[in-house]
Amino acid sequence: MLLLLARTGVGLRNIRSRLGHLYGDAGALELNPVEGGGLEAAVTMPLVMG
């Protein structure tokens, strides 16, 4: 249940929405359980040089 809430909470939904708005399909937030406990968060966004 806790993992489900961690994946669908309001704050995380807002982050995913903002990443999508700013970067389209190139932006993402992924959450994965870590063996032994805990959670790993990976944020993906394009690198813009300039």
The residue extents of the domains of the chain are: 2-44
CA distance 43 to 31: 9
Please report, in tens digits, the pLDDT of each residue of the chain (50 residues total).
Answer: 445 555 667 888 899 999 999 999 999 999 888 999 888 999 999 998 97
Predicted local confidence at residue 48, as pLDDT: 82
- The total of other beta-carbon atoms located within 10 Å of residue 36's CB is 5
Q: Tell me, yes or no, if the pTM score tops 0.85.
A: no
CA distance 13 to 17: 6
Predicted local confidence at residue 1, as pLDDT: 43
Alpha helices in the chain (DSSP H): 2-8, 10-23
User: 37 — phi, psi (to 5°)?
Assistant: 115, 155
CA distance 45 to 18: 11
